[in-house]
Structure 1
Amino acid sequence: MAHSPQHLDRLRLRHIRLLDLIKTHRSLRAVARDLGLTQPAVSQMLKDLEFAFGAALVDRSVQGVELTAMGRLALQRARSGLAVFQNLAAELDEGLPPVLHVGTNPAMMFNVIPAALKMAQGAGTAVRYALRTGLATDMTRALWDGEINCYVGRIDWEVVPPEMKNSLRHEHLFETELVVVCSASHPLASRASLRPSDLKDVTWALPPEDSKNRVGLAAAFRNNGLGEPRIAVEVAADPNGLMNILREMPLLAVLPRMVLNTPAAGTQVVALDTPFLRLPPVEVGFLTLIEHEDVAELQALRGALIATLAGSVI
């Protein structure tokens, strides 16, 4: 059956909470007790919700109730909306400007995010920023769950669940190439031209094996008949930590070139000439939920990012 716009307008927040409570308790009686309502009242709420959405959201049996596939999808989408209301209530209680929760990758914190925040604040936007860094998969999940309002960083559509893709609004920002780096004192740093055999016996500082950079390097090694890279140190998603390790140890690493164009890299970390590896570029984008894309604070940050990148060299 089709959804009912009129019934959608009549829904309240407790209708949305109902799905979460059903998932937790798997009993309408327990849900009613939690909401302080009678069981018939909860059953009617559920009917109203299913009629409004035009879908069966719950399976009923003698064992109790549980969410259908559509019910789980509705709950997942609703959680982000509930998070918005919860955050808004907390902000109003504090009497402070609204908070924009931004997820990003550590590499973006070297120059892109600080420059964009400076520009957005200079435009007079009354907003506070709560920044959170992590892997792309974790940030996408946090966006889906309503823990962050947007994500600025590497986009890897291969690992985004199909049911999530249609809920996201993506805007491409830029691409930066991956490069092999080492300290300026490393024996390979002075070599003008390298061959695959030069990398056969070197040791590396790399992120975990499921990271995109690690996977790309391993594939490049196999394509050149080199086997697997020899790893001395494993560092999770931390370009700054990698560079500090390279300054102290004769290791190689893989970093986005944008990181080398920052004061943090200085002159002690250099890129090697390894065109034979053909490492995949890093695509960086701005990601938010479709229903949030017109939020003024998000628009301001997105505009600041675009303006910042337009005047920079990545």
Structure 2
Amino acid sequence: MDLELRHLKIVKAVADAGSLTRAATALGLAQPALSAQLKRVERALGGTLFVRGREGVRATALGELVLERARVLLPAVCELQEEAQRFARQGAHGYRLGGTHGPLLGGLVDRLAREEPGVPVTTYTSWSEKEVAGGVADGRLDFALVGVCGESAPPEPGRLAWMEVARDPVHVMLAEDHPLALARTPREEIELAELAAEAWTDVPGDGCFGDCFAAACVRAGFAPACVYETDTASCVHLVQVGRAVGLCRATFPATPGLVTRPLAGTPLVWRHVLGWHPAARVAARAAGVLSHARAAHEEALGRSASAAGAGALRAAAVRAPAAQLRCG
């Protein structure tokens, strides 16, 4: 009988479980079937792998040798399989981009399409940063363009490479006839405490932004009475009709009926980050995609609802050095 990977999995399962009964349960086999398979493996390898006792099984010297090799080979084969699947999914040259809400993904698509006409660009969007990053980690997407709150780590820190595109102060979004909008110029800041009586609206996410916002409100001396988490269009509508004030990035585009104002002291910061799998073929194109994403951010700032204060925004949107982020 030739030794196969499934045989090594059986040996490792028995050693990990410490007994044939527990190993059979873990493998979904009947104990007699497992015992028969283990005997065949032992015959193929030329000796006994385990000594059975009242307290379970103990590996023999031969068993320890086999286990040592199995613990190297099994993860290596698993990694090979994952890498091969990623490679097969990547297909022809093109860009498969994943992103969350915000204007940067559209800007990145536009720049890539202009730079490389005829090269396919596809997109996938989700409110979940983790979902988008997971798509890159398993090879369904090439790049993730998402945001994270403050200095928090991007998703999948152990599997993906991440670079910072830019960072923006978080602004408040008001109806154009809101008293604070009428009383402030685009560059004038609003104290968070001045909004204590307001209901709020924001898009959902699976990072720490909601907790950080709540903490900023507590530091300002209040707890938000109501926060509507909904899609961007609904957030805009709630602000336009005066039902709530919104939280938005500095890159939020100019929208009829709305104005945005900076918050005093910049209590919340949003970092735009680009992620990719370092072992994927597209990793060689990451520097170019990052450059386009940064240019898209500059263009979004120019079109933003706070364009009149763009100089102040650019001073606040401080980029990280051109070195890979060490997150997680």
Is TM > 0.5 for Structure 1 vs Structure 2? yes
* SS of equivalent residue, structure 2 residue 251: helix
Alpha-carbon distance in structure 2 between the residues aligned to 1:273 and 1:300: 31
Structure possessing the higher radius of gyration over alpha carbons:
2
Alpha-carbon distance in structure 1 between the residues aligned to 2:148 and 2:81: 22
Letter in 2 for 1:141: G
Q: TM-score, normalising length from structure 2?
A: 0.60
**Does 1:203 pair with 2:195?**
no
User: Deviation of residue 106 (structure 1)?
Assistant: 1.2
Aligned to 1:36: none
User: Does the Cα contact within 8 Å between 1:125 and 1:297 map onto a contact in 2?
Assistant: no
Letter in 2 for 1:101: R
Letter in 1 for 2:108: A
**Does 1:120 pair with 2:116?**
no
User: Deviation of residue 145 (structure 1)?
Assistant: 2.6
Would you identify which runs of 4 or more consecutive aligned residues in structure 1 move more than 6 Å?
A: none
* SS of equivalent residue, structure 1 residue 178: strand
Residues 185, 141 of structure 1: CA spacing in aligned structure 2 closer, same or farther, 3 A cutoff? same
* SS of equivalent residue, structure 2 residue 268: coil
User: Does the Cα contact within 8 Å between 1:98 and 1:126 map onto a contact in 2?
Assistant: no
User: Does the Cα contact within 8 Å between 2:129 and 2:147 map onto a contact in 1?
Assistant: yes
Output aligned runs, 1:155-304, within 5 Å: 155=148, 158=152, 164-192=156-184, 194-195=190-191, 197-208=193-204, 211-226=207-222, 228-231=223-226, 233-235=228-230, 238-259=231-252, 262=253, 265-275=254-264, 278-292=266-280, 295=283, 298=286, 300-304=288-292
Aligned to 2:86: 84
Alpha-carbon distance in structure 1 between the residues aligned to 2:82 and 2:181: 48
User: Does the Cα contact within 8 Å between 1:169 and 1:290 map onto a contact in 2?
Assistant: yes
Alpha-carbon distance in structure 1 between the residues aligned to 2:168 and 2:246: 16
Output aligned runs, 1:38-117, within 5 Å: 56=71, 71=75, 75=78, 81-88=83-90, 98-107=93-102, 110=103, 112-117=104-109
* SS of equivalent residue, structure 1 residue 106: coil
Alpha-carbon distance in structure 1 between the residues aligned to 2:146 and 2:169: 14
User: Deviation of residue 78 (structure 1)?
Assistant: 5.4
User: Does the Cα contact within 8 Å between 1:127 and 1:297 map onto a contact in 2?
Assistant: no
User: Deviation of residue 102 (structure 1)?
Assistant: 1.2
Residues 222, 272 of structure 1: CA spacing in aligned structure 2 closer, same or farther, 3 A cutoff? same
User: Deviation of residue 298 (structure 1)?
Assistant: 4.8
User: Deviation of residue 190 (structure 1)?
Assistant: 1.9
* SS of equivalent residue, structure 1 residue 170: strand
Q: Which runs of 5+ in 1 are unaligned?
A: 1-13, 30-38, 45-50, 59-66, 92-96
Output aligned runs, 1:145-164, within 5 Å: 145-155=138-148, 158=152, 164=156
Alpha-carbon distance in structure 2 between the residues aligned to 1:83 and 1:222: 48
User: Deviation of residue 128 (structure 1)?
Assistant: 1.7
Letter in 2 for 1:271: T
Alpha-carbon distance in structure 2 between the residues aligned to 1:221 and 1:130: 39
Output aligned runs, 1:5-16, within 5 Å: none
Alpha-carbon distance in structure 1 between the residues aligned to 2:146 and 2:190: 31
Residues 82, 245 of structure 1: CA spacing in aligned structure 2 closer, same or farther, 3 A cutoff? farther
Alpha-carbon distance in structure 2 between the residues aligned to 1:285 and 1:141: 15
User: Does the Cα contact within 8 Å between 1:83 and 1:147 map onto a contact in 2?
Assistant: no
Residues 306, 273 of structure 1: CA spacing in aligned structure 2 closer, same or farther, 3 A cutoff? closer
Alpha-carbon distance in structure 2 between the residues aligned to 1:175 and 1:103: 19
Aligned to 1:142: 135
* SS of equivalent residue, structure 1 residue 84: helix
Map Cα deviations across residues 56-111 of structure 1 (whole Å, 9 max, x no partner).
Answer: 169xxxxxxxx8xxx4x974x557534434425xx5xxxxx54532111211xx2x
Residues 247, 78 of structure 1: CA spacing in aligned structure 2 closer, same or farther, 3 A cutoff? farther
Letter in 2 for 1:56: R
Map Cα deviations across residues 37-71 of structure 1 (whole Å, 9 max, x no partner).
Answer: xx97xx99xxxxxx9x976169xxxxxxxx8xxx4
* SS of equivalent residue, structure 1 residue 230: coil
